[in-house]
Chains A and B, each alone.
Chain A
Amino acid sequence: MTARSTRHATASLSPLSVTADARGFWRDFWARLAANRLALLSGILLISLIAVAIFGPLVYGQSATDISSDYALNTFPSALHVLGTDSDGRDTLARLMGGLRVSLLVAVFVEVINIGLGATLGLIAGYFGGALDFIISRLADMLFAFPGLLLAILVSAVFGRAAEDQFGGIGRLLLVTGALSLVSWPLMARYVRGQTLALRERDFVLAARSLGAGSGRILISHILPSLAGLIVVSSTLDVANVVINEAVLSLLGLGIQPPDPSLGIMITQATPFLQTNWTQVFFPSLTLTGIVLSVSFLGDGLRDALDPQSLR
């Protein structure tokens, strides 16, 4: 972990070498990432899934929530319904793209909060120490006390109906995002805090301070760049958890509400009809597994590319 920062650390010593070394570093980074076929493939798959989520519903004419006009229930793929229909007669491809939108939207929102809140608080706690550190660390510890998804389940159960009454479907989406962020940010804060504690004592920070740099400048232009790798990698890897957790909350009836599509709801809705039509379980499961695996491989690839020394 500490090794990751070495490169930036030496680079920050003199202003001249910063630009030279920084460009070299990113060129190295791309070369290493491109050499990792699995990570590259995962990245491409992920980008295509994002593109499908954004543009798919605009291109594909079928509704994700309305029963199709031909009343086809639980059918196999056909010319009219590319991936078949679910047990309520709704077009599966349309629902799949809608569910993909939900999964990816929640993941993006959660990671924005995760970085904005978790990384920032971790940085502040690690750099300033003292009472600030104590308060932030204990707050994170308090949230850590709940195992797994338990806190997210509680929060979305208690406030779910009220959020929906106030803001409709978007309210649920926001609540799920908030509940999952509550579970995610303490880990990010802990990682960043630990790394900041180590960086704070380094010579390049002392050098910056003796040249008259203030805390804000040291944090943003000297410590943060060394943390970028850690933050990018851990938030990428966290996306896999968020996508699965959103599906879990939704299938427990706590997240996205029917008739709106979510991958978790689609899988559980089709499971009882497995014997007559396996395709309706297969497509959402494949999509979900595809997101989770590609995010994991991409995260691992990014870690190796950002920190060659971590290769075993």
Chain B
Amino acid sequence: MLRFLARRLIGLLFVLFSITFITFIIGHLAPGDPIRVLLGNRQDDALYNRLRHLYGLDLPWTQQYVSYIDNLLHGNLGYSFRYQGRAVADIMASGVPISFGLGLAALLVSVLIGIPVGIMAALRQNSILDWGVMGVMLALYSIPSFVLIPIAWAVNDFSHNHGGPSLPVAGWGTPRHWILPVLILAAASIGYIARLTRFSMLEVLRQDYIRVAFSKGLRARGVYLGHAFRNALLPLLTVIGPSVAFLVTGAFVVENLFAVPGIGYLAVQAIGQRDYPVVQGTTVILAVAVVAMNFLTDIAYTVADPRVRLDAHNE
């Protein structure tokens, strides 16, 4: 177990190195001189050189990378080009809890809806219910969020115009503002998780020990919940990683179309203002969050399933 953990940890460090290194290199190659931008109208060579030295931009790039990592470890994501001297971390601070709240809510919703739907479909395999529900799940999985959003808005409008309930479609604040963005963000993962749960459940239901449980005279409910479900759940732990990756790209679209002031929204605002350090900071934060999530599910999976042996991970 210890050797396995060590190997995972080395893998984790490599991934973190990749993220920071590539992000750094892209920032390093970025067009435009940040000091010139910072100076604005007061272009003065002496001041320019002093600031360049102050920010460490006169050092070779390898040393700049080291100080970049050092800054990251101290929670410093660099400085905005747009707002003179303002820290990127400062600009993004308000967006981080919103984005993570949105992402976690979507993950929770997709698990809470996806797993029961998948089990239901598996227990009624090849029925009309199974085909219908799986068709809807395939649609949720394959229709991109920016097409689902107008559909959701149209339904919302229709309900509103006919005296039914309606939800706010933009802004942030009350709990009602959460509902549509979370559902749209979760849509792809709901479809993905439901289809995988069905597949995994059907696989387990074919096993001999399920037949044994039935032939012992156990009630169907007990067999499904006690024997089948617990084993079907195991492979599902591995899909959390890909689901979180969906959420990251989805967050950019959903936050921007619903005007939710998360980091995806702030990043796109920053892109419009050519404020690259903010985009860089967003990339690092999101990528590291996903990596941490993957690492945790990986560990959880090995703890939950003793059959996963140390060398099974050796590709």
Instruction: Count residues on chain A whose CB falls below 8 Å from chain B CBs.
Output: 43
Q: Give the CA-CA distance A159 to B274 in the complex, in Å.
A: 10
Q: Contacts A141-B14, A154-B26, A267-B150; is A248 near B252 (CB within 8 Å)?
A: yes
Contact A248 B271 (CB under 8 A): no
Contact residue among B31, B154, B244 (Cβ-Cβ distance under 8 Å from A274) = B154
**Across the interface, which residues of B come within 8 angstroms of A151, CB to CB?**
22, 283
- Is B18 touching A278 in the complex (CB atoms < 8 A)? no
A165 to chain B: closest residue by CB: B31
0/1 per residue, B238-263, Cβ < 8 Å to A?
00000011101100110011000000
Grouping DSSP codes into helix (H, G, I), strand (E, B) and loop, the B interface class, with mixed when no group exceeds half, is helix
Closest to A293 in B: B142
Return the chain A residue nearest B276 by Cβ.
Answer: A158
B13 to A: closest C-beta gap in Å: 11
Chain A minimum-CB-distance residue to B246: A148
Give the docked Cα–Cα distance between A162 and B286 (Å). 25
- Give the residue of B153, B244, B252 whose beta carbon is less than 8 angstroms from that of A271: B153
Please report the number of residue pairs spanning A and B whose Cβ atoms sit closer than 8 angstroms.
Answer: 120
List the A side residues contacting B27 at CB < 8 Å. Answer: 158
Q: Size of chain B's interface in residues, with CB distance under 8 A? A: 46
B15 within 8 A of A: yes
A residues near B147, Cβ cutoff 8 Å = 267, 285, 288-289
Contact of B142 among A145, A278, A292 (CB under 8 A): A292
Q: Please, how many angstroms separate the alpha-carbon atoms of A174 and B306 in the complex?
A: 48
Which chain A residues lie closer than 8 Å to B257 at the CB level?
268, 271
The 0/1 profile, CB within 8 Å of B marked 1, for residues 140-158 of chain A is: 0111011111110111011
B108 lies within 8 A of chain A by Cβ: no
Shortest CB distance B108–A (Å): 19
Report the minimal beta-carbon distance from A21 to chain B, rounded to whole angstroms: 33
Considering the chains assembled together, what is the distance between the CA atoms of A32 and B21 in angstroms? 48
Asked if A229 is at the interface of the complex by the 8 Å CB criterion, the answer is: no
B85 CB–A CB distance under 8 Å: no
Q: Inside 8 A of A252's CB, which chain B residues have their CB? A: 252-253, 256, 268, 271
| Bound complex: CA A248 to CA B264 (Å) | 13
Query: Contact: B19 with A274, CB < 8 Å?
Result: no
Which chain B residues in 153-170 approach chain A with CB under 8 Å? Answer: 153-154, 157
Q: Binary interface profile of A, 239-250, with partner B (CB < 8 Å = 1, else 0)?
A: 010001001100
Tell me whether A161 and B31 are in contact (CB under 8 A): yes
CA distance A268 to B30 in the complex (A): 29
Query: Does A78 sit at the interface, judged by CB under 8 A?
Result: no
A296 contacts chain B at the CB level, 8 A cutoff: yes
Contacts of B291 in A (CB 8 A): 145
Tell me which residues across on chain A come within 8 A of B18, comparing CB atoms: 141-143, 145
Q: Can you list 30 residue pairs at the A/B interface with Cβ under 8 Å?
A: A141-B15, A142-B18, A143-B18, A145-B18, A145-B19, A147-B249, A147-B287, A148-B248, A149-B248, A149-B252, A150-B286, A153-B267, A153-B279, A154-B23, A154-B279, A154-B280, A157-B276, A158-B30, A159-B30, A244-B144, A247-B144, A247-B146, A248-B146, A251-B146, A251-B253, A252-B252, A271-B150, A274-B153, A281-B150, A285-B150
B residues with a Cβ closer than 8 A to A are 14-16, 18-19, 21-23, 26-27, 29-32, 142-144, 146-147, 149-150, 153-154, 157, 244-246, 248-249, 252-253, 256-257, 267-268, 271-272, 274, 276, 279-280, 283, 286-287, 290-291
The 4 closest A-B pairs by CB, nearest first: A148-B249, A142-B18, A147-B245, A162-B31
